[in-house]
Structure 1
Amino acid sequence: MLISIIRPNNMFSTKESPAVKRRSKGEQTRLLILQSAIEVLAKNGIKGTTHRAIANHAKIQLSLTTYYFKDIQELVHQAFILCSSQITAKTSLAWQPAVELLANVNKTSLRKISEKESLRNQLAIMATQCLVKRIVDSSVELAVQQLLFTEVRVNPQLASLTEIHRAASLKPIIELCEFFNSHDPHIDADIMATVFTQIEYRNINVPVEQLDTDNILAIVTRVIGYAMNLKSLALSS
């Protein structure tokens, strides 16, 4: 197997980072409520996300959740916003190695099919590692992201957030596709992002040891090869 899997220590942890500890007590409490709301949304869905469920999950008094967020709809909306920012920040960071790899590639060398295939294979492995890590480490955020795109159908107020979220998520992939297609890279990026998202959603509840990383790698290799206008799809070891 080409892709290694690292099991997260605690997928539902609300432990504060050093940066959070520098916040005021009120800010810490508000962030704890929002992070707990994200985790409750992932586990219980919209209907099961109540002030009481969030307070119980955060192990705080119910009065605190209603003090900071009197309206449960606003609390859920703010939780979606926080989750979106977390996902897009991780996405941008995850694609950075691929961006750096392309920055050092001589486009002239890609006239050789073998060089182009080699680059595709490197990018495919990087992207697959990124997907597997997100599936393993960020299943909560992915579940809430999926819920966000489902909920927007019945809650138009979330429409602008979904558009912002999608644009931010697409940005690093568009930059990658621009290297091979300066004419309409957004189309290739849209196709690539759609395939990657479906891989993530399909595997959210799959036990770590049962993840078929070889199949994920094969799919990723094909979609990246498509963006690079490569017909040869064999992945060299």
Structure 2
Amino acid sequence: MAPDGTGNGKSLAYQGRKASRAKSEHRRRLILEAALRIVVREGVRGIRHRAVAKEADVPLAATTYYFKDIQELIVDTFTLYTEKALGVVNRFADQFYLPLKEMSVSHLKALTSGENVSEEELDKVLDYLVTQLANYVKEQTGNERDMLIAEQAFRYEAIVNDRIRELALMHRKALSDKIEEFMQLVSSPTPREDAEMLMGLFHSIEYSVLLVGSDNADFDHIRRTLKRYLALIIPDLLRQRKS
């Protein structure tokens, strides 16, 4: 069992044979890490007992010992993915949501005050938020690139596999909750809907960067896109507070 990172009390549960010793658990983890690497390179259909055993550098009997069939191995591979992805969600909160609380009072005023807000002050807020979001995208498509590729496979499997669908919904809710917290922080009258739109924008941008590669991505264009989205929302929030 592993904490899901959402704070809702749910836990991730692996289906395969439980390891009773630390050495045994280490080998089981090696097998799942190897299977996840195969997903990144070849997709889910690349997961086979023999291929995973070779990738993990363990005897073939080890994979069949811990996982009774391919389906169980696939589900536990995506359970490991979910565990890792929830860690990314928490880092997102650390890098983006929490620093927002530490912004200067004058900057936060542009988000929380219905009084006269200068274009310069609003632009400072937008630039700060855009920088944080763009840095998150760059991190995801750079250092976390393999996780994003696994996520593409994860989405398809979630459609056709009930157990993986549960994992996908858990991960999606964790990310949605964090973004919704941000929307509440900036006093959005519709935080859930605004969070949904920002998640959709994230997914679109990340997929576009995966297609061309992080080194070839136009991050200036990405920043302009993010700023356009936020510029549409924040003035609307200010008007809501005045009314």
TM-score > 0.5 by shorter chain: yes
Match of 1:118 among 124, 129, 142: 124
Q: Which residue of 2 aligns with 1:57?
A: 55
- State the secondary structure of the residue aligned to 1:153: helix
Task: State the Cα distance separating 1:230 from its structure 2 match.
Answer: 6.0
Identity of matched residues, %: 27
- From the CA coordinates, give the structure whose radius of gyration is larger: 2
Runs of 4+ deviating beyond 3 Å:
104-111
Match of 1:45 among 31, 43, 46: 43
Aligned residues: 209
Q: Which residue of 2 aligns with 1:133?
A: 139
Q: Which residue of 1 aligns with 2:93?
A: 95
> Residues of 2 paired with 1:153 and 1:100: CA distance?
33
- Post-superposition CA distance 1:140-179 (Å, at most 9, x none): 2111111111122222332222111100111221111112
**Counterpart contact for 1:51–1:65, Cα < 8 Å:** yes
Q: CA RMSD in A?
A: 2.1
In the superposition, relative to structure 1, how do residues 230 and 213 fare at CA in structure 2: closer, same or farther (>3 Å)?
farther
In the superposition, relative to structure 1, how do residues 223 and 48 fare at CA in structure 2: closer, same or farther (>3 Å)?
same
**Counterpart contact for 2:110–2:125, Cα < 8 Å:** no
Task: State the Cα distance separating 1:182 from its structure 2 match.
Answer: 4.3
1:1-237 to structure 2, matched below 5 A, reads 24-105=22-103, 106=105, 107-110=108-111, 111=115, 112=117, 113-229=119-235
> Residues of 2 paired with 1:230 and 1:117: CA distance?
15
**Counterpart contact for 1:125–1:217, Cα < 8 Å:** yes
**Counterpart contact for 1:177–1:227, Cα < 8 Å:** no
Task: State the Cα distance separating 1:229 from its structure 2 match.
Answer: 3.4
> Residues of 1 paired with 2:59 and 2:177: CA distance?
40
Greater helix fraction, Structure 1 or Structure 2: 2
- State the secondary structure of the residue aligned to 2:44: coil
**TM-score after normalising by structure 1:** 0.80
